[in-house]
Structure 1
Amino acid sequence: MMRPIIIALDFKNQQICFDFLNRFTHPEDLFVKVGMELFYFEGPSIITKLRKMGVKVFLDLKLYDIPHTVEKAMEQLGRLDVQMTTIHAAGGSEMIQAAKRGLVAGSKAINGTPAKLLAVTQLTSTSEAQMQSEQLVSVSLKKSVTHLAKLAAANGADGTISSALETPLIHEAAGNQFLCINPGIRLKNNSTDDQKRITTPAQARELGSNGIVVGRAITQAEDPQAAYQIIKQEWEG
């Protein structure tokens, strides 16, 4: 099973994005995440350009709406030939099923392979106290994450986006074939920034992560390719 390091391209425009990618000797070998900031400014064309380079793309828009709206949106995203994309598991069973239908329909239209559908459980910036006081979720954070992961798995999602700290719980609840892709990855000397539930690449590997999303530790490094190699060595053990 592929266990990628996914670089979060949290840049404001494509010029900065491609200037960054061109600092790598073989950018075509990379797996990257395009999030809201870059996609909402550049639109689908940024995905087309990345795919023409050979770059694998995780399109992270975290859709959360009524099932029909999500299905039709996912059908459009399925036409972009991305490898992963996201919804919020809290949208419920019907929305998750609709998202999967849309992805499959969109990929069929281009004779492609459907993207892996990943469900967000609880954001890695959310603490248990915050979840309970602001979302009025009375159970523990672990129980909430486990419940949402099982809901996602039962309704066609291929995996979750969650903290690596919850990976063992998710695999126990939904099986080892259910992907756990983990943001909130930092090297030991990195700032935690706005993340609360973080791990190092080595810790994520030991916890059973199926892929890690790394942003600032690479994108803000003086030598991004060297930083990537350090993370790769730690990730691969």
Structure 2
Amino acid sequence: MSNLLTDRKFWVEYWERKTGLAMTIPPDYLFHKQLQELIAARGIRSAIELGGFPGYYAVFLKKYAGLDMTLLDYFVHEPIVTQLLARNGLSANDVKIVETDLFQYHPDRQYDLVLSCGLIEHFNDTTDIIKRHIAFLKPGGTLFITLPNFHAVNGWFQKRFDRPNFDKHNLRSMDPGLLSEICLKAGLERIQSGYFGKFSIWFEAEHEKPFFARALKNACWLSGKIFTKIFPFESKKFSPYIILVAQKPSE
């Protein structure tokens, strides 16, 4: 079985459907608190975002933390990245771009922080893709990975109303215990892995979904938000994301 659940054609078509990609990244962008705390606590100065086109986290970390940033992805449309940088008051030289196949690329440097947001769930072999992240880490460096939690209510909506997109995700990877175990066996330390967020539901290309699907999604979204406002907790059945943080031992 191929390790890939997607290919270049999938990602080219995916991004070509998107509009408004050159957006202003706010200071409270998703996962901002977790990233800012790690940067302050661990003295992070350099980072690479894997699989991150168009580079929202690369821009966020350059704009608000001043990190030496690199963006690596299988597909990068540089004019969009340039527009994104300009929209956020940055120049084309502020983020190094590497367009390559992660499975053929050998890192020419290592970083204080290696992050990916919504990448590892597109591969069948979770251990292998995490080890490829670790190859970019300096001794003492920090691994930061996020992925969607399709075991939650959001996953039911994806499976029921967007099966092609659902099938591009490896549900086995969406297990905090498995992610911790992989990192432990790989020799990482200070491992934290768990569910994140109280509740959320989303659709890709929502305007293309049937009216019934959109109405049901909006009704569940509102109900879930009210419920988790009254009973705020993070869990497998409600939280939309999983976060994994680990550290490579210092030499």
Q: TM-score range by the shorter chain?
A: 0.3 to 0.5
Q: Which has the higher strand share?
A: 2
- Report which of the two structures shows the higher radius of gyration computed on alpha carbons: 2
Q: TM-score, normalised to structure 2's length? A: 0.36
Q: TM-score, normalised to structure 1's length? A: 0.37
Q: Which has the higher helix share?
A: 1
